[in-house]
Chains A and B, each alone.
Chain A
Amino acid sequence: MKKSNYISIIMSLLTISFMACDDNLNIEPEQNLSPEVATESPANVKKILNNIYAVARDNSSYGGGIALASELIGNAGGISWNGTYVQPAEYNEKAILSDNSFVEGIWINAYDISNEANIVLSSLSVFTDTSEKDLVEGEAKFLRGLAYFDLARLYSKTYVPGSQNSQPAVPIVLTAVLNSSVIEYPSRNILEEVYSQVISDLTDAYNLLPSSNDIYATKYSAAALLARVYLEKGDYDNARAMANDVINNSGAELTATFDGAFNNEENSVEDLFAWQVTSQDASSNDFNVFWAGSEFGGRNGNPDVSIKEQHFAIYNDPNDDRALYFYVTARGTATTKWQNQFGNISFLRLAEMYLVRAESNFRKGTSIGATSLNDINLLRARANANLYNSINLTTILMERKRELAFEGFALFDAKRLGENVGSIPYSANRLVLPIPLREMDVNPNLTQNEGY
């Protein structure tokens, strides 16, 4: 073969190899969808909605993080922190630093909920079926309302009924962020504005949602949450109305035993709304991680949050099931409420509605739905505690402590009711979470809470 032949063969091979490849630079991700595709169909938008529940159930928020903050910051000696994490130790010591990553996690996650709800709400036009659209809108607003409610309660000074409530709360962001051009650097809205937004969202949810909706939010989940919000605001009329509505119309009923209300892998008849935990989400159940003994999946503090002698003073009947709802581990006493690693996390229980109605009726001197005494005795009877002949506000509130212990009410109730935490005044700066340092570092329009 002649030299020129060799050369021409090689040259042509080369030409092929030089040209072949440009198309190969277009590679599509195999695990991800573009925002356009993700929001283009009703089926996809509903999947984003489903994910919001997963985000909310994350351990930093409703999977335990918010309740842990409330119980430890609101702790006046009834519980102790034995765990190795520094962040909860700071809560318990009421010496929170603004770089506390748990504090940051609650914030980041709440706004993730908010943004995804905004994405769903901005994509409603893809729905042609009105009832499907209402359902999706209602659920998204329920979740967004929930997120802002807890943001407001944690990062702002307490709501004072009848006042301006112009204390700085948290920024309200209602624009869906799907590309970088719409990123905002918002400043903090005042508390009144945030509560208005919460009530507006939850009221919409109440009006849009059906009374049953699998394990997702229903009309009565929204009503129950509204009852909680109104109670927090000291708006007892509305709180009573919502609680009464739930009790009469939701179809939910108290479980036969107190124990029946907890550690359920399927929602109980008492659950108005519960966060779902399956064996694949064990890491998202921080109630179990921090409150259970290590043989049940809890951490090495065994349990990290142990129940101290002082707590037992709230029980006034030794036979009260709730006074016995504990177990002893190698290093302390644990509450039985969060014993099942894979149990659902009850979030809105019917029992709370009886307590809201009882308290509101009592404060208003009414007996809409039932008398306060009857409501309270209903809960006591279920727990095999002796019944009252008469009650007052103190006994109602004590009943609330007994029934809802360790479920995340401690700090919020203390502030709402003006009860000091040990020697710390209920209005102290230390009982309000700092705006997370990373947010302060990145957004110049935010102001820090006093004391940080």
Chain B
Amino acid sequence: MKIKTYFFLGLFFVSSLLMAQEKRISGVVKGEDGLPLMGVNIFIENTNKGTQTDFDGNYTIMASPQDVLVYSFVGFKNIKRTVGQETTINVELISDTTLEEVVVVGFGKQSKRKVTDNIASVSSSDINQIPIASMQGALTGKAAGVQITQINGKVEGGVKMRIRGVSSISSSQEPLYVIDGMPLINDDESVSEAPINPLISLNPNDIESIQILKDASSAAIYGARGTNGVVLITTKQGKSGKTRVSLNTSTGWSEATNKVKWLNAEQYVELFTEASANSYGAEDTWLTEAGGYFDWMSNGKDWRTGEVDTNWQDYALVKGSVQDHNFSISGGNEKTLSFISGGYNNTEGIVRGNSLDRYSFRGNLDHKISDKFRVGLNTGLSKTKISRIGTDNSFSTPLQAIAQSPLTPAYLDDGITPNNETSIYYNFLMEEFNGNWDVNIFRVLLNSYLEYQLLPELSFKTEFGYDNNNQTEEYFAGSLTQSASTNGYADANAIQSDKYNISNYFTYIQTFNEDYDFEFVGGMSFEESSRKRQYVAGTGFPSDDLQTVESASEITAGTSSRTKYNFLSYFGRATFSIMDKYLIKGSLRYDGSSRFGAANRYGVFPAASVGWIISEEDFIKDSETISLLKLRGSYGVTGNAGIGNFASLGLFGGTAYNQKSGLSPVQLGNPDLKWEKTNQIDIGLDFGILNNRISGEVDYYVKKTNDLLLNEPIPGTSGYTSITRNVGSLVNKGFEFVLNTDNFSSENLTWKTSLNLSTLENEVTDLPSGDIVAGRNIVREGETISSFYLVEYAGVDPANGNALFYKNTLNTDGSLDKTTTSNYNEAQRIISGSPYPTLMAGLTNTLSFYNFDFSFTLQGEWGSSLYNEGGKFQSGNARYEDNQTVDQLDRWQNPGDITNVPQARMYSTNGQQASTRYLEKSDFIRLRNLSFGYTFPRDLTQKFSVDRLRLYFTGINLLTFTDYSGYDPESSYDNLGNSNIEKGITFYSSPPAKTFTIGLNIDL
């Protein structure tokens, strides 16, 4: 080896001597704008000799006359110069306008110009500056027809992404997430009913772009899982040229977007004294007498003199903080590209005791073995630690503290021990004081590929992907908590989910006669997902310092389980374009899944789309005004397989009685179970006016789902409550409108605006089994899925303060009887609203002015309502002992009073029943994010070898405009986070955070 090296070195010297005429050539490479270009590759044609330009675009290279220098730079046309007598060669590179925007599609890429599908693209610059822990959160408001809602203000909280509405009643409503070709595990593994966002372990800073496949034609290549849309995530890759080191660090603070006004001690005493008098007579002074209930509450403090006035809300909703630090190293050469990044995120939630720490690492590598062979490996590792709090439906969750009386001191006299002695409900502060609940999530994502160019027009790619989600949740409640009777309680829950995916496919690209471009992609993929769980719980702890189950004196529960499912798929897609004007695409996917009965195991999912680039036609081609006009239409079939792994089978499961084993029927079988199929039509128009200064898209779609996978309720008299069947259909339809404008563009000032609008109309069109009512929501033929189904509140009888309800019984003529009654059981429920918005909009403005940049996104939703399930306790005219919202002071007091709040009657129901009294419109417009930055002049930072130094401020959820009177129009009940039907319900649900951060971008 060594000898060889010396030999070559020797040869080199000899050759240099022989080429004595070689001389030093230097020069500057600039762009069209006259600015120097850094990292331009310059090499001598047909040799390995080359160099790059430095920061100022300068280069030097040894070359001989007649050598051809090739200047190449990404995004610019290559330029060749033959060396003559000169020693200085200055070059101006011209940007390559033929290089079109490329979008990632399933199993490949496509020029955006030729795409005939509806795909929303979001780039890294849209999301990287938003220091939000969840990837989905950063997308909110950026894409038309995509609704993204975090369930509530808990940092790990589940996120719902609804692409073009809800297409399933009982099957999954979540899109398929694919990262670098690998379908992601997206199962909530929370041990409590409150979901944990399964994608919380991804670092949004590693994302290069996100494509959201919305129509059937684009999503059908993912066949059985395409109905809810597909989210393709591409991570950042190295770029050839100078190695770039980037640092992004930000820090900030946060608080709740909103607080609600509650009664203070004086008001509480006033209202409840009156409520008791109304129920038991003023002579019964059990509340106010010495040693009475108020004295008990105030635990030795004197409520009469105002010695105690606890604002429980301020104990629950606290100031939070955010820290986000990322570095990345990106570089490479002709053969090898690499990207390495590390990130740390620390989010202290706005709800007391809730926090998140995430450490992440990514290494992406691409290597060209030869002109024909390419390999790549993308690896992502992360560890996420979350400190959790109880679900919305638990006394241990902070926000339930708002139910406590303001007369109850939060702490005992020592100021340290939470007062659990005289609180009406369990004092949540005890959980922090004497308990612990941590989750650790380890996630490994790996995607590797090997690509071989068989022929110039034919390539083969094999991809192997692996995703491992390893989650351990540990809970401890000490001897002072709700587990006092057993001297402490601890449990541990461990989940190991993993998935591997193998895809093999050929890509064939051929151009015939210059005018006919043909591309074919065809192949197969196999995917297997398995999940294991172990759980153990114990009670009786010798000390509150010993918090793991090992120290438990008794093991009270334990379980372990294993499950698996897989998909086997074949797919093919052909695209054909004629004269760059007429575009045709067809695809077919054949999917098999272990989840379905043997008879219906496979499904076929075809799709087709056509496009016509009108602006290429002669009659319009030379138009000054119109730069792009493309008409496209697509149709396709997608499926949904988001049901239980064994949904088609009748099942018995193991149980125990008296610690002896038992067998319990847990599921009724349905061997006929098959895929839920969605047919979707999309017609769209893409346009660009005035050299694309104004561009946009208009789409109309109709998405019809048949053979709904429905957990159909059946009479409990059968011994079961539901069965999964393929019955019914529903339709989503709507308009989507995107408009991008370059409002102003000059050297020192640019201003761009992007607006998206979408409408959504959802209707259940066929439901042979009849209404499905779940809680406050109903699925009914002819109505929006999950419509609210409530008794209609009619206010207060001015004569006696009774709550009134509209009867709404059917009159003989078919109309509703709008007379009122105070007897709730006489009133019928009616459809009274929808939890889904019918109109959504996002507006992003981006400005740069000299070295300043400024952008903000406004987002709005209209047409939905929220039902406050906690309303009966919180705003229930003092029926229960719970503290009340201040509006309850408007209660009816004397005959003739006109108000909406009935007479306060302690322990006696008067208007607290479920009704539209607790239903409210939740329209809002929100300043979703805002950032303001300043980039220091380059000649200044260059002195410190810094290419770019930017200081910025970012704000999230800074302003919310809404008439909604509760905590937040977007926060909902996390116990129902995984419910498909029970939507739009809130119950002690914390508002999201309003975050302010300042940060620095440093590029070296």
Within 103-128 of A, Cβ neighbours of B (below 8 Å) are at 104, 107-108, 111-112, 114-116, 118-119
Mark contacts of A174-211 with chain B using CB atoms, 8 A cut-off: 1 yes-contact digit, 0 otherwise.
Answer: 00011110011110000000000000000000000000
Given A97-B824, A184-B715, A442-B713: A278 touches B650 (CB 8 Å cut-off): no
Within 375-406 of B, Cβ neighbours of A (below 8 Å) are at 395
> Does A438 lie within 8 Å of B657, measured CB to CB?
no
A48 interface neighbour in B454, B593, B663, Cβ under 8 Å: B663
Within 427-452 of A, Cβ neighbours of B (below 8 Å) are at 436-439, 441-444, 451-452
B646 interface neighbour in A25, A29, A51, A54, Cβ under 8 Å: A29
Given A50-B662, A276-B657, A300-B426: A451 touches B649 (CB 8 Å cut-off): no
B17: chain A residues within 8 A (beta carbon): none
B436: chain A residues within 8 A (beta carbon): none
Mark contacts of B602-646 with chain A using CB atoms, 8 A cut-off: 1 yes-contact digit, 0 otherwise.
Answer: 000000000000000000000000000000000000000000011
Q: Is the interface of A mostly helix, strand, loop or mixed?
A: helix
> Does B504 lie within 8 Å of A18, measured CB to CB?
yes
Given A51-B663, A53-B658: A22 touches B592 (CB 8 Å cut-off): yes
Q: How far is the CB of A16 from chain B (nearest CB, A)?
A: 10
B563: chain A residues within 8 A (beta carbon): 29-31
> Does A179 lie within 8 Å of B655, measured CB to CB?
no
Within 1-47 of A, Cβ neighbours of B (below 8 Å) are at 6-7, 10, 14, 17-18, 20-22, 24-27, 29-35, 37-38, 44, 47
B598: chain A residues within 8 A (beta carbon): 26
Q: Does A171 contact B (CB under 8 A)?
A: yes
Q: Does A424 contact B (CB under 8 A)?
A: no
Q: Does B814 contact A (CB under 8 A)?
A: no
Q: Does A282 contact B (CB under 8 A)?
A: yes
Mark contacts of A276-299 with chain B using CB atoms, 8 A cut-off: 1 yes-contact digit, 0 otherwise.
Answer: 101110100000000000111110
Q: Which residue of B lies closest to A282 (CB)?
A: B556
Q: Does B108 contact A (CB under 8 A)?
A: no
A108 interface neighbour in B651, B721, B771, B872, Cβ under 8 Å: B721
Q: Which residue of B lies closest to A25 (CB)?
A: B594
> Does A98 lie within 8 Å of B650, measured CB to CB?
no
Given A18-B524, A53-B657: A84 touches B652 (CB 8 Å cut-off): no
B281: chain A residues within 8 A (beta carbon): none
> Does B556 lie within 8 Å of A38, measured CB to CB?
no
Interface residue stretch chosen among B53-61, B246-254, B306-314, B666-674: B666-674
> Does A48 lie within 8 Å of B669, measured CB to CB?
no
Q: How far is the CB of A317 from chain B (nearest CB, A)?
A: 30
A441: chain B residues within 8 A (beta carbon): 713, 770-773
> Does B719 lie within 8 Å of A54, measured CB to CB?
no
Within 31-86 of A, Cβ neighbours of B (below 8 Å) are at 31-35, 37-38, 44, 47-48, 50-51, 53-55, 57, 84, 86
Within 759-808 of B, Cβ neighbours of A (below 8 Å) are at 770-773
B770: chain A residues within 8 A (beta carbon): 441-442, 444
Q: Which residue of A lies closest to B668 (CB)?
A: A180
Within 649-688 of B, Cβ neighbours of A (below 8 Å) are at 649-670
Q: Does A313 contact B (CB under 8 A)?
A: no
Given A17-B504, A300-B425: A26 touches B594 (CB 8 Å cut-off): yes
Q: How far is the CB of A193 from chain B (nearest CB, A)?
A: 15
> Does B717 lie within 8 Å of A184, measured CB to CB?
yes
> Does B669 lie within 8 Å of A180, measured CB to CB?
yes
Q: Does B854 contact A (CB under 8 A)?
A: no
Given A32-B651, A54-B664, A177-B720: A278 touches B659 (CB 8 Å cut-off): yes
A111: chain B residues within 8 A (beta carbon): 716-719
> Does A31 lie within 8 Å of B594, measured CB to CB?
no
> Does B663 lie within 8 Å of A33, measured CB to CB?
yes
> Does A32 lie within 8 Å of B773, measured CB to CB?
no
B718: chain A residues within 8 A (beta carbon): 111, 115, 173, 177, 183-184
Interface residue stretch chosen among B111-119, B907-915, B949-957: B907-915
> Does B662 lie within 8 Å of A48, measured CB to CB?
yes
> Does A119 lie within 8 Å of B665, measured CB to CB?
yes
**Given the complex of chains A and B, what is the CA–CA distance between A163 and B539 in angstroms?**
54
Q: Does B421 contact A (CB under 8 A)?
A: yes
B662: chain A residues within 8 A (beta carbon): 47-48, 50-51, 53-54
**Given the complex of chains A and B, what is the CA–CA distance between A6 and B372 in angstroms?**
11
> Does B651 lie within 8 Å of A29, measured CB to CB?
yes
A27 interface neighbour in B502, B645, B914, Cβ under 8 Å: B645
Mark contacts of B575-610 with chain A using CB atoms, 8 A cut-off: 1 yes-contact digit, 0 otherwise.
Answer: 000000000000000001110001001000000000
**Given the complex of chains A and B, what is the CA–CA distance between A35 and B721 in angstroms?**
17
**Given the complex of chains A and B, what is the CA–CA distance between A262 and B301 in angstroms?**
40
Q: Which residue of A lies closest to B773 (CB)?
A: A441
A215 interface neighbour in B557, B568, B658, B880, Cβ under 8 Å: B658
> Does B665 lie within 8 Å of A178, measured CB to CB?
yes
Q: Does A387 contact B (CB under 8 A)?
A: no
Given A34-B650, A54-B662: A116 touches B719 (CB 8 Å cut-off): yes
**Given the complex of chains A and B, what is the CA–CA distance between A183 and B716 in angstroms?**
10
Q: How far is the CB of A1 from chain B (nearest CB, A)?
A: 12
Within 896-911 of B, Cβ neighbours of A (below 8 Å) are at 907-909
> Does A183 lie within 8 Å of B714, measured CB to CB?
yes
> Does A10 lie within 8 Å of B454, measured CB to CB?
yes
> Does B715 lie within 8 Å of A115, measured CB to CB?
no
Q: How far is the CB of A90 from chain B (nearest CB, A)?
A: 8
> Does A47 lie within 8 Å of B663, measured CB to CB?
yes
Q: Which residue of B lies closest to A97 (CB)?
A: B913
Given A18-B524, A25-B593, A31-B563: A50 touches B650 (CB 8 Å cut-off): no
Q: Does A341 contact B (CB under 8 A)?
A: yes
Mark contacts of A131-167 with chain B using CB atoms, 8 A cut-off: 1 yes-contact digit, 0 otherwise.
Answer: 0000000000000000000000000000000000000
B771: chain A residues within 8 A (beta carbon): 441
Q: Does A99 contact B (CB under 8 A)?
A: yes
**Given the complex of chains A and B, what is the CA–CA distance between A252 and B824 in angstroms?**
50
Q: Which residue of B lies closest to A117 (CB)?
A: B719
Q: Which residue of A lies closest to B661 (CB)?
A: A47
> Does A451 lie within 8 Å of B825, measured CB to CB?
yes
Q: How far is the CB of A40 from chain B (nearest CB, A)?
A: 11
B593: chain A residues within 8 A (beta carbon): 25
Q: Does B125 contact A (CB under 8 A)?
A: no
Q: Which residue of A lies closest to B559 (CB)?
A: A31
B482: chain A residues within 8 A (beta carbon): 294, 300
Q: How far is the CB of B919 from chain A (nearest CB, A)?
A: 16
A17 interface neighbour in B524, B561, B656, Cβ under 8 Å: B524
> Does A86 lie within 8 Å of B872, measured CB to CB?
yes
> Does A10 lie within 8 Å of B452, measured CB to CB?
yes
3 A-B pairs with least C-beta separation: A115-B719, A51-B662, A54-B657
- Knowing that A30-B561, A93-B908, A97-B824 touch, tell me 18 more A-B residue pairs with CB under 8 angstroms: A26-B594, A26-B598, A27-B645, A32-B651, A33-B663, A34-B650, A48-B664, A50-B657, A50-B663, A53-B662, A97-B914, A111-B718, A183-B715, A278-B658, A279-B539, A280-B656, A282-B556, A341-B485
Residues of A that sit less than 8 Å from B by CB: 6-7, 10, 14, 17-18, 20-22, 24-27, 29-35, 37-38, 44, 47-48, 50-51, 53-55, 57, 84, 86, 89-90, 93, 95, 97-99, 104, 107-108, 111-112, 114-116, 118-119, 171, 173, 177-180, 183-186, 215, 276, 278-280, 282, 294-298, 300, 330-331, 341, 436-439, 441-444, 451-452
**Contacts A/B (CB < 8 Å), 5 sampled:** A30-B562, A54-B664, A108-B721, A173-B717, A179-B669
